[in-house]
Amino acid sequence: MATRKDHPETSPEGQAAKAKAEAEAPGAAEIQSAMDKATKQGFIGDETDPTDNAAYTVAGVTSGAPTPETDEEQAAKVRDQRRR
């Protein structure tokens, strides 16, 4: 039987208790800071450059493999992907 009563977790009191517990969690701010930094650097989340990693190796560079830094078409591809 369904009721219209809020679940304790989704009630205003429950949300306040959850926020308070999260704020008081030891190390939570440090962990969030580290995750924010890693995300900003591109280590976590969507890949920002679809260029194959092999293109950045010595073999890739000497073979003329396209990278956004050396090929305008590849640079456009990267810009287009980032806009999505």
* Structural domain contains residue 72: yes
Residue 53: DSSP 8-state: G
Q: Is residue 12 part of a domain?
A: no
**Tens-digit pLDDT profile for residues 2-20:** 555 666 777 888 888 888 8
Within-domain flag for 84: yes
Per-residue model confidence (pLDDT) at position 47: 66
Distance CA 43, CA 48 (A): 10
Mean pLDDT of 20-30: 82
**Cα–Cα distance measured from residue 42 to residue 45, given in angstroms and rounded to the nearest whole number:** 7
Q: Where are the alpha helices (DSSP H) in the chain?
A: 12-24, 28-41, 58-63, 72-83
14 lies in some domain: no
Assigned token pair, 76 = 């456009």
- List, for residues 34-82, the tens digit of each pLDDT value: 888 887 776 776 666 788 899 999 999 999 999 988 999 998 888 888 7
For residue 53, what are the domain limits? 49-84
**Contact predicate 78/66, CB 8 Å:** no
